[in-house]
Amino acid sequence: MGQTDNAVVVTRRLTKVFRDFWLREKVTAVCDLDLDILPREVFGLLGPNGSGKSTTLKLMLGLLFPTRGTISVFGRLPTDVATKSRIGFLPEDSYLYPFLDARETLDFYGRLFHQPRRQRMGRIDMLLDMVGLASVAYRRVGEYSKGMQRRIGLAQALINDPDLLILDEPTSGMDPIGTRQFKDLIETLALRGKTVILSSHLLADVEDVCDRVCILYGGRRQAQGAVGELLAHSDQTQLVTQRLDDATLEAVRRQLAQAGRDVLEVTHPRDKLEALFLRIVQQGQDQRIVTGGALAGGQVAEFLRGQPPAGREVIEQLVTPAAAPPQGQETSPAPAPPQPAEQTREVLETLTSTARDQAPPEPPQAPPASAEPSPPQPSQAVLEELLEGDKKPPDQEP
pLDDT digits 0-9 by tens, 172-214: 888 888 788 888 888 888 888 899 999 988 888 888 899 999 9
Determine the Cα–Cα distance for residues 374 and 377; give it in Å rounded to an integer.
Answer: 9
Q: What beta strand segments (E) does the chain contain?
A: 9-19, 25-37, 42-46, 68-73, 87-90, 164-168, 195-199, 212-217, 220-226
pLDDT at 323: 47
Of residues 141, 137, 205, 196, the one with CA closest to residue 176: 205
pLDDT > 50? residue 267: yes
Determine the Cα–Cα distance for residues 57 and 69; give it in Å rounded to an integer.
Answer: 15
Range of weakest confidence among 118-122, 165-169, 224-228: 224-228
Determine the Cα–Cα distance for residues 215 and 233; give it in Å rounded to an integer.
Answer: 18
Residue with the larger pLDDT of the pair 311 and 251: 251
Exposure of 263 by Cβ count < 10 A (0-12 exposed, 13-18 middle, 19+ buried)? exposed
Task: Give the confidence band of 275 by pLDDT, cuts at 50, 70, 90.
Answer: low
DSSP classification of residue 334: P
- The third-level CATH classification (topology) of the domain covering 2-233 is Rossmann fold (3.40.50)
Determine the Cα–Cα distance for residues 201 and 172; give it in Å rounded to an integer.
Answer: 9
Determine the Cα–Cα distance for residues 191 and 285; give it in Å rounded to an integer.
Answer: 30
pLDDT > 90? residue 359: no
pLDDT > 80? residue 326: no
Residue with the larger pLDDT of the pair 2 and 35: 35
Alpha helices in 113-259 (DSSP H): 117-130, 146-158, 176-191, 203-209, 227-231, 246-258
Residue 57's φ and ψ, nearest 5 degrees, are -65, -40
pLDDT > 60? residue 101: yes
Distance between the two ends of the chain, CA-based, in angstroms? Answer: 86
Give the CB-side neighbour count of residue 320, counting CA atoms within 13 A.
8
Q: Which residues contact 326 (CB under 8 A, 6 or more apart)?
A: none
pLDDT digits (tens, 9 = 90+) for 232-261: 777 777 777 778 788 888 888 888 888 777
Domain range summary for the chain, segments of one domain joined by +: 2-233
pLDDT > 90? residue 230: no
Assign 110 to helix, strand or coil. Answer: helix
Helix (H) or strand (E) holding 12: strand 9-19
Of residues 83, 94, 161, 150, the one with CA closest to residue 122: 161
pLDDT > 50? residue 292: no
